[in-house]
């Protein structure tokens, strides 16, 4: 099993404070987020790695344990790696502790933590789990994946679950994207008298009509040659129904038109929206009649003069 240097993954010094770690994490998570890199497996793996690093360095207990491990591992490296490193000493909580399974840690970021993380921190829970009394009682948080459509992400939606013998309806707010987590307090598992929380990991299905980047949407709009040349109106699909877009005379195929405020609502400010960009696709007429062909020929001759 390979050692992971979480400081290098986030690009921060070992002396970095909480604000520096959080700032580095946010910048990298934004850069490698799956919504910004659709279909890019390398970016997806990098995103998981960044989340794992923040899970450790953003938690004081895990960071302290990682720093102790790092010091021991570096000392072992300086000895020339003559014997295998004793990973077992560092498994589950404090050295010599007992491994405790705490929900499905792998699902918390939609893809799984590494073997390194699960071996070293498997008994320490996740950042959301918190620690109880001095006796070491821990809450047991539970994660569950849910899939929603882009239309549901736009308007907001709900899902019904059976939890702890109760029927539970959970609201997913407008503006959710893949990677959004919805916390339901007190609906997780129980351990040593403490009840954890339920976390819903949201996955938004692709919509064939739109490409999403953050809160902005991109779509294609068809226009015939005559509308593109002379100007006119075309219908554009939005998540609230079709709207008319005025196309100026002389518009070019591939040209994008911005429809302000027609994009996705912002997750924490749903009254604000991103924009919709309609990219023009001009259709070239086929199977011209002879009179039509002659008219195009006359036009071509006029343009050459």
Q: Any idea where the domains of the chain sit in the sequence?
A: 1-92, 211-304
State the pTM of this model: 0.53
Q: Which CATH class is domain 211-304?
A: mainly beta
pLDDT score of 132:
31
Each residue's pLDDT tens digit, 112-136: 567 677 667 654 555 443 323 333 3
Residues 90, 119 contacting (CB under 8 angstroms): yes
Each residue's pLDDT tens digit, 244-284: 999 999 999 999 999 999 999 998 888 999 999 999 999 98
> CA-CA distance, 211 to 245, in Å (whole number)?
19
Cα–Cα distances in angstroms (integers) from residue 263 to residues 106, 179, 204, 232, 243, in the given order: 32, 19, 15, 23, 13
pLDDT score of 192:
64
More confident site: 277 or 181: 277
The dotted CATH code for 1-92 is 1.10.287.110
Q: What is the Rg, in whole angstroms, of the alpha carbon atoms belonging to the chain?
A: 27
């Amino acid at each position: 099993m390979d050692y992971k240097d979480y400081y290098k993954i986030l690009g921060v010094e070992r002396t970095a404070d909480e604000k520096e770690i959080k700032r580095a994490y946010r910048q990298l998570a934004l850069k490698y987020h799956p919504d910004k890199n659709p279909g890019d497996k390398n970016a997806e793996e990098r995103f998981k790695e960044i989340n794992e690093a923040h899970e450790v360095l953003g938690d004081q207990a895990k960071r302290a344990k990682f720093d102790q491990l790092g010091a021991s591992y570096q000392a072992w490296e300086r000895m020339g790696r003559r014997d295998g490193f004793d990973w077992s000493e560092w498994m589950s909580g404090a050295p010599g502790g007992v491994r405790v399974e705490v929900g499905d840690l792998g699902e918390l970021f939609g893809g799984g933590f590494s073997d390194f993380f699960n071996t070293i921190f498997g008994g320490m829970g996740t950042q959301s789990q918190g620690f109880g009394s001095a006796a070491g009682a821990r809450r047991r948080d539970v994660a569950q994946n849910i899939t929603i459509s882009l239309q549901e992400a736009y308007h907001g939606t709900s899902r019904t679950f059976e939890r702890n013998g109760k029927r539970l309806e959970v609201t997913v707010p407008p503006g959710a994207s893949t990677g959004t987590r919805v916390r339901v307090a007190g609906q997780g598992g129980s351990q040593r008298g403490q009840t954890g929380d339920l976390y819903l990991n949201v996955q938004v299905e692709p919509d064939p009509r739109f490409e999403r980047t953050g809160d902005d949407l991109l779509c294609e709009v068809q226009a015939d040659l005559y509308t593109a040349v002379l100007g006119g109106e075309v219908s554009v699909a939005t998540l609230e129904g079709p709207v008319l877009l005025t196309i100026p005379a002389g518009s070019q195929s591939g040209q994008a038109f911005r429809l302000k405020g027609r994009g996705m609502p912002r997750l924490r400010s749903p009254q604000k929206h991103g924009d919709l960009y309609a990219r023009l696709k001009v259709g070239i007429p086929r199977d011209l009649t002879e009179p039509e062909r002659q008219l195009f020929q006359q036009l071509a001759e006029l343009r050459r003069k």
